[in-house]
């Protein structure tokens, strides 16, 4: 081999060695990197790979049911068929929606809403078009499936209220989550399609317990996030059951009875435990209109109705209590030592105070009455006289002991406190002093005095239960939670004073001179007592009195007096108390007392273990007394 050939061989060898070294280095680096990725970082990249391959979606939990005290279902979940559209599959969304609109009867507004929703979401995400489809609608969609690409039927749940308007004001309703609610509670479950939260009533008070816990579904997806298949599914935890103190049969009876009047409210309560057996406001509304969105026309109709069907008058309606307030004045006088059972006052039909004349409801007067007689016949002049000696501050303090002028604390939203005035309140509110004549007006439950029907029921319960500060409640128990409270502290009023007032209330229905005697119950063991009330909604002028006061039935509806009655039964051992108000109904004895009587009878007959069975009561024509 020549020298040139040897040089070429050595040069080639050196190059081969360099190239080999480089290749070895590169392969070594790759091997090291592969070892690092596959061994050292194996767990980390395994998780990342799973995240790219598997996605998780929250599932809407089933809402807990609501029952009455006997376990009867009041709020349940019903199967809900809904039509959805997937833009990716539909391709021409406006055309498909137009065809679907013809099949399901969609309005232009509904179609525009769906189109806006489609634009906001990814094209492979389904958008709800319409919920609560009937079997006929589902079948029609399926038959027309070839003409409706991208449209499918899904099965979900919707809230249902079997008793509808009967329980609307207690249960409330659920609705879609608003943007404000979404911001206030940053929970992933709030954004789930079809998720609903409590908007009013018990649904709102116990919303967190009723919601339950969201489930989850694991899906295998491709690179762009499209679902390939479902891998695992956890349905989550159903919301807790809520049992109420309501007796649905009594609630239904009461609501039906009130529906005979244009606008009314009533409460039936256990005098000793505070359990609410019935709480009704009439007219009512159908809560089933709300879970999937109420139409604008229906909402306008409800909100413009002068009888306010959306308002729970039992807890938010504030009314002058009229003569049902006289027991408070009597108790204040007895406890202050300013009156006894024998205290007598002569009623000529009016009382003079300065330049003003304050009239009694009975034009010719009642003559001389003691305290029981004054309660029995509802003499205004008697309580005018007591209030002059008491003053408004003592009446105010006694009112607070019996639950007036403040929220009762019932487990329902929106309760209003009513109003019991005193000297300090008027000075703060109007910057003027209290006048002596205002004592007289307040003593008969007029003027500034306001109370809700619920407060009047609580007041009555505290009077007849021996003087314990019972508080009302409609929740008996939330599943796995504590039971209802049934023991209460004393109000701090002597039993002698309470017994005296109770004797006057017994006489209202049991004595021939009582204002509600014609509404009495004659069945032994079912007798009831109470107090009538009639409150004016406008002041009667002297000129009107001189011309002759126009009868209630001859006035426009909104100018008629409110009719009230508070009562209890049975007389021998009071257990149930009722409060009834009929807006612009006229006289309490003629209009409210018969309703209260029927409610008390029904309450007792539904509990034969504590009261004897009885035959239907005789119907008596109402008397037009005060």
Tens digits of per-residue pLDDT, 535-548?
887 665 555 544 55
Q: What's the CA gap between 288 and 295, in Å, rounded?
A: 12
Does 508 score more than 80 pLDDT?
Answer: yes
Closest CA to 595 of 535, 537, 528, 536: 528
- CA 59, CA 3: separation in Å to the nearest integer? 84
What confidence tier does 620 reach under pLDDT thresholds 50, 70, 90? Answer: very low
To the query of whether residue 323 is one of the catalytic residues in this protein, the response is: yes
Contact between residue 460 and residue 221 where contact means Cβ atoms under 8 Å apart: no
What is the predicted pLDDT for the residue at 182?
78
Per residue in 440-462, is it b (16+ CB within 10 Å) or e — as a string?
A: bbbbbbbbbbbbbbbbbbbbbbb
The fraction of the chain above a pLDDT of 90, given in percent, is 58
| Residue found by looking up tokens 């929606």 in the block | 97
Residue pLDDT, tens place only, 158-188: 899 999 999 999 999 998 888 788 778 877 7
Q: What is the CATH number of domain 248-298+313-605?
A: 3.40.710.10
Q: State the chain's mean pLDDT as an integer.
A: 86
| Catalytic hit among 200, 282, 323, 589 | 323
Whole-prediction pTM: 0.81
Q: Which helix (H) or strand (E) holds 114?
A: helix 108-120
CA 338 and chain centroid, separation: 42
Q: What is the pLDDT of residue 626?
A: 41
Cα separation of 626 and 615, whole Å?
A: 29
Distance in angstroms between the alpha carbons of the first and the last residue of the chain: 143
What residue spans of 471-578 are helical by DSSP H? 495-510, 542-547
| Per-domain boundaries in the chain | 57-244, 248-298+313-605
pLDDT in tens, 452-473: 999 999 999 999 999 999 999 9
As to burial, measured by CB atoms within 10 angstroms (0-12 exposed, 13-18 middle, 19+ buried), residue 6 is exposed
Q: What confidence category does residue 617 fall into, taking pLDDT thresholds of 50, 70 and 90?
A: very low
Q: Would the CATH topology of 57-244 be identical to that of 248-298+313-605?
A: no
Label residue 227 by pLDDT band (50, 70, 90). low
How far is C-alpha 402 from the chain's CA centre?
23
pLDDT by residue (tens digit) across 190-222?
Answer: 767 678 899 999 999 999 999 988 777 776 665
Quick one: what percent of the chain has pLDDT higher than 70?
85
Q: How would residue 5 be classed by pLDDT, with cut points 50, 70 and 90?
A: low
Beta strands in 316-470 (DSSP E): 345-347, 350-353, 356-359, 367-369
Check residue 616 and give its pLDDT.
34
Short-list 501, 438, 490, 428, CA closest to 464: 501
Whether the predicted pLDDT of 624 surpasses 60: no
Contact (Cβ atoms closer than 8 angstroms) between residue 487 and residue 473: no
Please determine, for residue 615, whether its predicted confidence score (pLDDT) is greater than 70. Answer: no
Highest mean pLDDT among 176-185, 544-553, 593-602: 593-602
| Four-residue CA torsion sign, 435, 436, 440, 442 | positive
622 pLDDT more than 90: no
**pLDDT-derived band at 609, boundaries 50, 70, 90:** very low
Query: Does 521 or 537 have the greater pLDDT score?
Result: 521
Residues 597-608: what's their mean pLDDT?
Answer: 90
Q: Which of 95-99, 501-505, 541-545, 586-590 has the highest mean pLDDT?
A: 501-505
Strand segments (E) across 94-137: 127-130
Look up tokens 């939203």; give the residue: 413
Integer CA distances (angstroms), 71 to 242, 273, 600, in order? 10, 19, 22
Architecture per CATH, domain 57-244, reads as Alpha-Beta Complex (3.90)
The neighbour count for residue 339, using CB atoms within 10 Å, is 26
> Rounded mean pLDDT of 70-82?
91
Q: What is the pLDDT of residue 612?
A: 38
Residue 155's H or E segment, with its range, is strand 151-160
Number of C-alpha atoms within 13 angstroms, CB side, residue 559?
10
- Scan for tokens 């996605």, then name that residue: 55
Cα dist. 63→67, 164, 174, 202, 213 in Å? 13, 18, 10, 13, 9
Alpha-carbon distance of 299 to 475, in angstroms, equals: 29
CA distance 224 to 600: 67
Length of the chain: 626
Mean pLDDT within 481-500 = 94
What does the alpha-carbon distance between residue 112 and residue 114 come to, in Å, rounded to a whole number? 5
Select the more confidently predicted residue: 586 or 339: 339
Mean pLDDT is lowest, of 86-90, 170-174, 250-254, 550-554, for 550-554
**Strand pairing partners for 85?**
127, 151
What span, in angstroms and rounded, lies between the C-alpha atoms of 43 and 56?
20
């Amino acid at each position: 081999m020549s020298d040139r050939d040897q040089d070429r061989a050595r040069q080639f060898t050196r190059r081969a060695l360099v190239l080999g070294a480089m290749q070895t280095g590169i392969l070594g680096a790759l091997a090291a990197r592969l070892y690092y990725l596959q061994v050292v970082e194996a767990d980390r990249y395994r998780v990342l790979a799973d995240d790219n391959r598997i996605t998780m979606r929250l599932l809407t939990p089933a809402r807990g049911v609501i029952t009455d005290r006997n376990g009867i279902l009041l709020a349940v979940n019903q199967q809900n068929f809904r039509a959805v559209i997937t833009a990716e599959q539909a391709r021409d969304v406006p055309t498909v929606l137009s065809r679907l609109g013809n099949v399901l009867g969609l309005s232009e507004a509904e179609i525009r809403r769906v189109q806006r929703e489609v634009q906001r979401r990814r094209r492979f995400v389904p958008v709800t078009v319409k919920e609560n489809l009937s079997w006929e609608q589902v079948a029609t969609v399926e038959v027309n499936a070839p003409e409706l690409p991208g449209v499918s039927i899904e099965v979900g749940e919707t809230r249902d209220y079997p008793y509808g308007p009967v329980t609307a004001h207690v249960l409330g309703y659920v609705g879609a989550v608003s943007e404000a609610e979404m911001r206030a509670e940053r929970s992933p479950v709030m954004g789930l399609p079809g998720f609903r939260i409590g908007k009013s009533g018990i649904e709102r008070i116990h919303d967190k317990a009723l919601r339950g816990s969201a489930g989850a579904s694991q899906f295998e997806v491709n690179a762009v996030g499209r679902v390939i298949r479902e891998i695992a599914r956890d349905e989550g935890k159903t919301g807790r059951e809520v049992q109420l103190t309501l007796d649905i049969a009594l609630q239904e009876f009461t609501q039906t009875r009130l529906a005979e009047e244009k606008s009314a409210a009533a409460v039936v309560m256990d005098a000793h435990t505070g359990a609410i057996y019935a709480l009704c406001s009439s007219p009512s509304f159908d809560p089933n209109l709300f879970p999937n969105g109420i139409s604008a026309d229906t909402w306008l109709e409800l909100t413009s109705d002068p009888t306010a069907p959306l308002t729970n008058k039992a807890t938010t309606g504030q009314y002058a209590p009229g003569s049902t307030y006289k027991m408070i004045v009597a108790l204040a006088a007895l406890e202050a030592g300013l009156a006894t059972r024998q205290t007598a006052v002569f009623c000529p039909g009016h009382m003079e105070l300065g330049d003003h004349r304050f009239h009694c409801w009975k034009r010719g007067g009642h003559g001389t009455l003691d305290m029981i007689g004054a309660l029995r016949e509802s003499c205004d002049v008697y309580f005018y006289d007591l209030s002059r000696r008491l003053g408004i501050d003592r009446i105010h303090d006694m009112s607070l002991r019996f639950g007036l002028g403040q929220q009762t604390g019932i487990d329902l939203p929106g309760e209003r406190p009513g109003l019991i005035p005193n000297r300090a309140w008027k000075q703060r509110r109007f910057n003027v002093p209290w006048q002596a004549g205002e004592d007289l007006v307040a003593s008969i439950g007029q003027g500034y005095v306001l109370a809700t029907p619920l407060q009047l029921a609580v007041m009555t319960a505290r009077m007849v239960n021996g003087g314990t500060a019972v508080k009302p409640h409609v929740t008996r128990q939330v599943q796995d939670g504590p039971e209802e409270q049934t023991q209460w502290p004393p109000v701090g009023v002597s039993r002698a004073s309470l017994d005296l007032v109770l004797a006057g209330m017994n006489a209202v229905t049991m004595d021939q001179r009582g204002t509600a005697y014609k509404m009495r119950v004659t069945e032994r063991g079912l007798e009831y007592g109470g107090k009538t009330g009639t409150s004016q909604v406008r002041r009667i002028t002297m000129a009107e009195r001189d011309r002759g006061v126009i009868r209630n039935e001859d006035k426009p509806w909104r100018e008629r007096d409110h009719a009230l009655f508070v009562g209890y039964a049975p007389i021998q051992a009071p257990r149930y108390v009722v409060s009834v108000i009929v807006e612009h109904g006229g006289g309490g004895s003629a209009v409210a007392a018969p309703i209260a009587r029927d409610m008390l009878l029904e309450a007792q007959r539904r509990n034969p273990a504590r009261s004897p069975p009885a035959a239907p009561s005789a119907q008596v024509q109402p008397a037009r007394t005060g």
